[in-house]
Amino acid sequence: MPLAPADSEEARGGSVWVSSHTAGTIYQLLLTDQNHFVGKYCCIINDIRKLYRLGALATLNETQGGSLVFKGGHVEVADRKMFYTFWRALVQNGDVRGGSRQGASSHQSDDEQFEILFPNRWGNLLFGTRNGGTWFQTEAYGFTDKSWWNGSKDTIGHVSTTVQHYATKWTPKVATRQVGTCGYSTYTEKEGTQLRVPFGLCPNEPD
């Protein structure tokens, strides 16, 4: 499955050399790396782009490009755990790289948390459950790569981005920020700051 066509915001393009990425520049980078997303990875990336876009529309009543999901925004989906079950099976069956993040995550989840490691240094997808549905966010660095070199770099990187996250959390008058592969997001798991996809807007099945 190829990368899904650009949505209206992603189609705006822009320079990929700017310091602050837009949906358009992130989408261009995804297109450049598309050959790395073999198997189920493109399916997952297409789904999280779509869910992020739906969440912004439902929560904020505004259109945002789906590729902004790679800035780390926290999204909660009223899907009766459909995406959680699907993504967990991909990890457990070895269809994608990743593993359990239980005990290695500060986020609240009603079920065991997992992560999917994206290829070519695109970070990871962390996901769990809450309120009977799936929640997810992208991160700049994963936690479950078992190779010595990549695993060490990920661990150091994850600690660094965690420090960045908590630095904003503890700084007065500064909005807490999630740290994604392509920037920062103020959509966190804190009640009232996450993006929500209501049941009526949720896709019937993953791509």
pLDDT digits (tens, 9 = 90+) for 73-93: 999 999 999 999 999 999 999
118 lies in a domain? Answer: yes
The pLDDT assigned to 20 comes to: 83
In the chain, which stretches have pLDDT less than 50? 148-174
The pLDDT assigned to 152 comes to: 39
The pLDDT assigned to 104 comes to: 64
5 lies in a domain? Answer: no
Helix (H) or strand (E) holding 77: strand 75-77
4 lies in a domain? Answer: no
The pLDDT assigned to 43 comes to: 96
Token pair 């990743």 in the structure block, residue: 98
139 lies in a domain? Answer: yes
Mapping DSSP to helix (H, G, I), strand (E, B) and coil, where does residue 192 land?
Answer: coil
Express each pLDDT in 24-61 by its tens digit: 999 999 999 999 999 999 999 999 999 999 999 999 99
The pLDDT assigned to 19 comes to: 66
28 lies in a domain? Answer: yes
2 lies in a domain? Answer: no
206 lies in a domain? Answer: no
Q: Please tell me the pTM assigned to this model.
A: 0.85
Structural domain count, the chain: 1
The pLDDT assigned to 69 comes to: 97
106 lies in a domain? Answer: yes
Provide the residue range defining the domain that includes 62.
10-201
Q: Indicate the DSSP class of residue 67.
A: G
Mapping DSSP to helix (H, G, I), strand (E, B) and coil, where does residue 15 land?
Answer: coil
* Residues β-bridged to residue 159: none
